[in-house]
Amino acid sequence: MSSILRLRGLEVHFPVRGGFGDTLLRRARLVVRAVDGIDLDLVRGEVLALVGESGSGKTTTGRVIVKLTRQTAGTVEFEGEDVSNLWSGPALRGFRRRVQLIFQDPYETLNPKQTIFDFVAEPLVVHGLGTDRERSTKVLAALDAAGLRPAAEYALRYPHELSGGQRQRVVIAGALVMDPDLIVADEPVSMLDVSIRTELLHLMLDLRKERGLTYLFITHDLSLAWVIADRIAVMYLGKIMEIGPAEAVIRSPRNPYTQALVSVSPSPDPPTQGERARRTILEGETPDAAHIPSGCRFHPRCPVAFDRCRVEAPPLFDVGGGQAAACWLAEPGGAGTVERAAPTAEG
Amino acid sequence: MTEVTAPPRDGRGRLLPRESDPTAPMLQVTDLAVRFKLAKGSLKAVDGVSFRLDEGQALGIAGESGCGKTTTALSLVRLLPANGRIRAGRVDLYGIDLVANDESQMRRYRWREISIVFQGAMNALNPVQRVRDQIAEPIEIRLGKSQTAARARAVELLDLVGIPKQRGLVYPHELSGGMRQRAMIAMALACDPKILIGDEPTTALDVMVQAQILQLVEGLRAELGLSLILITHDLSVIAETCDDVLVMYAGRAMEQGPVSRVFTRPRHPYTQALIRAYPNIRADRRTLEVIPGQLPDLRNPPPGCRFASRCPHVMDVCRTLTPPEVRFDDGVTAACHLYGTVSGDGSLASDPGAVADGAIGAASGPSAPAATADDDAAYGDGIEDEDRSPGEPRSADSLAGDQSRMIDRAAHTIVDERQHGDPEQRA
């Protein structure tokens, strides 16, 4: 399998600006460890869902990949080339043609004073691609591909004339116009209604089929990951806790955090008594990323933590079938297995 | 109103407003119609919605944006925006018609009988006032308590929703989203209401925090005997927390009944489509179905069923006549011509004996004549179907065979879907 994107030991640490008093008292500066050492491979043509709660570092990871945030350590490889230190020049522009970002909020992404045509054409202009006529052909083709038909009619409109779903289609068209290989989509549908959301997910999957796109789909919603992703990576406090095929991660999660998340992810099937009983509602809140607990960062909230978890952080253990979990209980031949019945479909 | 020496009390012994009738349903909404005045014309946001809420019951109102669910909720407490007006219908709280009341009277019921946790509540807190003091304020003002007593009560309420005493002394920005939502719930409980309305109470929260808040609400319901109306687009939240569900589309009620029936065996094509468009982590199905088409323009809604233009089972009659609400034996009602006027077809109701206790029925009690008679041919309740619109061209008998075939198909679509899954999508 060829990786289109490879992250190794990626870290993003943000120093917290202390107050004047802190400086006077020479207090140690706090560091927010938003992303704290992750390895991730994206296979060409796949949809990988990066799932996590707020503060898990999923958005920061996406921003590093599209070169909007600088990593503090680690490497980013794209198509076998190290792009970690690519921060300017024609090479960066070349990279950006191939990797596009779709944000959550189409209302904020679009410029209210710009027509749809100008918005979609902007990257072509910035990159100096094509003549006016070629650009206009490309823009109309992108709008058409994003399902805004007839494209010529939508092209001359302004964002306020469009619905939320149509706006997000425009954002997708803006990403498509560069004919990218990889699209990082950060909560692309979470602002939209159910029926519109479904249309957009279908659009994204169709585009993958037609153009061989690869998606990094960032979301907080495990149910959404379940329906769109080939593989799911679950993040907690800047680390990947579990990764694997969607089926494995949802149906037989090996990390207690994933198990808890799956158990509380609601579904339109009214829960049975058994499901209610199996539910693990974690207490408290995710600690802030400036004060990451020792050992396994999940141990203070983990229902099955033991001594080792408090002092030593578990690496991602391969548990077979392409699934890996960062938990001592998943260690091959280790302390044992968390054979808690995973929530299943029958019930 | 009769002179009574002892004030009326509800089933749990709680005091009721003096003018109430303790034998009347807790909350009965009948043919509610709400219009919003626009620059051009008016928007029929809610158009003939009826439901009932009993003591201790939890009702979920589901639907997509623009279906009128928030408008319905705001109508119950009469907090509609300035351009919104209740055009017809009744909202009866223990027999007191809240729609007929003027604002000063309404104030006696709002927060004390019915309170509401708003959408985007996390931004509804006053940023420059301590959380505890914000909660104490309504207790001081509404219930006339002293500041000390009100603050003591506020601390109790914070404790009830799981905020430690010291955290009550902070300002809202120092609290996390989940904690702020807890504070909003504490505030809504300040005057000891009987009905709590939550308008998308967990929408912006993380899934674990959402689970915590829902657990809290469930606990409060049991502990305080609260009745709950949960407004959300999130079907799964309703499946988790509610006894009954009302599915709305374009201002009308499409289907209502016990959650366990409606979500496992939806009758209305809209409910079916909505559920199939909804990601379900417990199902093997990993495809989502698109609901083609768009919401009708509510300034000038088409005649007949509002869902007709998007419905896979659409018939000619759907485009002309508003469908009656058909009641099935298991307590579900659906407003759909597929079921004609047949009441409780044997092939439909797998469990004919079980009519849910808290059945929310449009038809209990005399149905008010169509509230929307000005623009619709009929908005009958259709359950007893004797007093239905004379314009109804079809008879139940002639259609029975046809109907049950269609019904069978409709009712089993989802089951089939789940069994087969869709392996292709993964390719």
Size of interface A-B (CB pairs under 8 A): 120
Q: Given an 8 Å threshold on Cβ–Cβ distance, is A281 in contact with B211?
A: yes
Q: What is the mean pLDDT of residues A91-98?
A: 91
Nearest chain A alpha carbon to B260: A270
Q: Give the whole-angstrom CA distance, residue A163 versus residue A161.
A: 7
**Whole-angstrom Cα distance, residue B427 to residue B415?**
23
Which of B65, B207, B255 is best to mutate for the A interface (most A CBs within 10 A)? B207
Q: Using an 8 Å Cβ cutoff, are B239 and A268 in contact? A: yes
Tens digit of each residue's pLDDT, chain B (427 residues): 555 567 788 877 777 888 888 888 999 999 999 999 988 889 999 999 999 999 999 999 999 888 999 999 999 999 999 999 999 999 999 999 999 888 888 888 888 899 999 876 667 888 899 999 999 988 888 888 999 999 999 999 999 999 988 888 999 888 888 888 899 999 999 988 999 999 988 887 888 989 999 999 999 999 999 999 999 999 999 998 999 999 999 999 999 999 999 999 999 999 999 999 999 998 887 788 888 888 888 888 889 999 999 999 999 999 999 999 999 999 999 999 998 754 444 333 333 333 333 333 333 333 333 333 333 333 333 333 333 333 333 333 333 333 333 333 333 333 333 333 333 333 3
Contact B207/A221, CB-based, under 8 Å?
yes
SS3 B152: helix
- The phi, psi pair for A300, rounded to 5°, reads -65, -20
Spatial neighbors of A143 by CB under 8 A, at least 6 apart, are: A116, A120, A149, A151, A154, A155, A170, A173
Chain B CB contacts of A275 below 8 Å:
282
pTM listed for this prediction: 0.81
Instruction: Give A295-300 contacts, CB < 8 A, sequence gap 24+.
Output: A296/A326, A296/A327, A296/A328, A297/A36, A297/A236, A297/A237, A297/A238, A297/A239, A298/A236, A298/A237, A298/A241, A298/A255, A298/A256, A298/A257
Q: State the Cα–Cα distance between residues B327 and B253, nearest whole angstrom.
A: 13
CB under 8 Å to A230, separation ≥6 — which residues? A46, A47, A48, A245, A246, B426
Distance CA B336, CA A51 (A): 39
Residues of A in contact with B164 (CB under 8 A): none
| Per-residue tokens: B225 | 């005997």
Instruction: Give residue-wise pLDDT tens across range A185-207.
Output: 999 888 788 888 888 899 999 99
Which residues are registered as beta bridge partners of B49?
A: B32
Burial of B325 (0-12, 13-18, 19+ CB in 10 A): buried
pLDDT at A150 over 70: yes
Residue carrying the six token digits 């109309």: A140
Owner of token pair 């006696």:
B108
Nearest C-alpha in A relative to B64: A193
Q: DSSP readout, B1-20?
A: ----SSPPB-TTS-B--TT-
pLDDT of B61: 96
Measured between beta carbons, which residues in chain A are less than 8 angstroms from residue B235? 194, 268
Taking contacts as CB-CB distances below 8 angstroms, the residues of chain A near B284 are 345
> Which tokens in the block code for residue A2?
């060829």
Listed in sequence order, the residues at least 6 apart from A273 whose beta carbon sits closer than 8 Å to its beta carbon are: none
CA–CA gap between residue B226 and residue B219 (Å, rounded)? 10
**Contact yes or no for A267 and B281 at CB 8 A:** yes
Crossing angle of helices A164-176 and A194-211, in 10° steps, is 20
**pLDDT at residue number A1:** 58
> B250-378: what fold?
Rossmann fold (3.40.50)
For residue A333, what pLDDT is reported? 76
Q: Do B263 and A270 touch (CB under 8 A)?
A: yes
Q: Quote the tokens at residue A173.
A: 């068209």
Q: Do the Cβ atoms of A260 and B208 come within 8 Å?
A: yes
In this complex, the residue of B277, B281, B284 whose CB is nearest that of residue A222 is: B281
| B282: nearest CB among A220, A269, A282 | A269
| B255 contact residues in A (CB cutoff 8 A) | none
CB contact under 8 A, B239 and A268: yes
Percent of chain A surpassing pLDDT 70: 95
Contact of A255 with A301, CB cutoff 8 Å: no
| pLDDT > 90 fraction of chain A, expressed in percent and rounded | 66
Exposed (0-12), middle (13-18) or buried (19+): which is B215, by Cβ within 10 Å? middle
Helices of type H across B192-245: 207-224, 235-241
The residue that leads in pLDDT, A71 or B383, is A71
Mean pLDDT within A2-8 = 93
Report how far residue B200's alpha carbon sits from residue B231's, in angstroms, rounded to the nearest whole number. Answer: 6
Q: Which two tokens stand for residue B242?
A: 């509610």
Distance from A39 to chain B by nearest Cα, in Å? Answer: 24
| Per-residue confidence (pLDDT) for residue B51, from 0 to 100 | 96
Give tens-digit pLDDT for A263-286: 999 888 888 888 888 888 998 888
Mean pLDDT value of segment A246-257: 96
Which of B207, B235, B425 lies closest to A268 in CB terms?
B235
User: What single string gives the DSSP state of each residue in B118-135?
Assistant: -TTGGG-S-TTS-HHHHH
Q: Which residues of A touch B (CB under 8 A)?
A: 53-54, 193-195, 197-199, 201-202, 205, 220-224, 226-227, 230, 246, 250, 260-262, 264-271, 275, 279, 281-283, 285-286, 343-345, 347
Q: Select from B78, B105, B186 the least CA-distant residue to B138.
A: B186
- Which chain B positions have a beta carbon within 8 Å of A343's beta carbon? 282
